[in-house]
Amino acid sequence: MIRTLLNRCAVVGAVVLTSLTVSFPANADTEADVISSGSFTGVNNHAVTGSVTIVETETGTYAVLDPTFSLDNAPDPKLAFGKDGQYDAETLFHPLTSLTGAQMYLIPDDIDPEDYNEFWLWCERFNVGLGVAPIQE
């Protein structure tokens, strides 16, 4: 759905995902491709809502959480990828900066989102999943 709306969308300094506007760290024209997207489900008795969209631009690949994103609470939430129900610890890449709302995170170059079919919220302190979004094109 979002892929149809955004596929090969050329914008100046921003990407628009439905009602979400996220600025990219570039002043020049930025072209964004949606790689995948999905909606969150809470795990281990955590409540998670909203969705994630993985976009690729000239400046990098980003995980974009939509404005309806919400995580109930956790002491050490981080972002990661996984596959077929298994979180991959090698992909743990950034702390969650807010429990609610639109957010954008640069995915490190050594992680290829196309190798995974899930996006995870993971509590590193307790080594437990908080939420997962199956992601697909």
Which residues, in sequence order, are bridge partners of residue 104? 64
Give pLDDT, residue 29. 55
Give pLDDT, residue 31. 79
For residue 76, the tally of other CB atoms under 10 A from its CB is 14
Residue type, 20: L
DSSP letter (8 states) at residue 108: P
Give pLDDT, residue 30. 64
Give pLDDT, residue 68. 99
Q: What does the domain layout of the chain look like in residue ranges?
A: 2-134
Give pLDDT, residue 21. 42
Q: Whole-angstrom Cα distance, residue 84 to residue 98? A: 27
What is the end-to-end Cα distance of the chain in Å, rounded? 9
97: left (phi over 0), alpha (psi -120 to 50) or beta: alpha
Give pLDDT, residue 25. 53
Closest alpha carbon to 113 in 35, 57, 4, 41: 35
Q: Whole-angstrom Cα distance, residue 30 to residue 27? A: 8
Question: What are the pLDDT tens digits along the chain (137 aa)?
Answer: 333 333 333 332 334 333 344 455 544 456 789 999 999 999 999 999 999 999 999 999 999 999 999 999 999 999 999 999 999 999 999 999 999 999 999 999 999 999 999 999 999 999 999 999 999 98
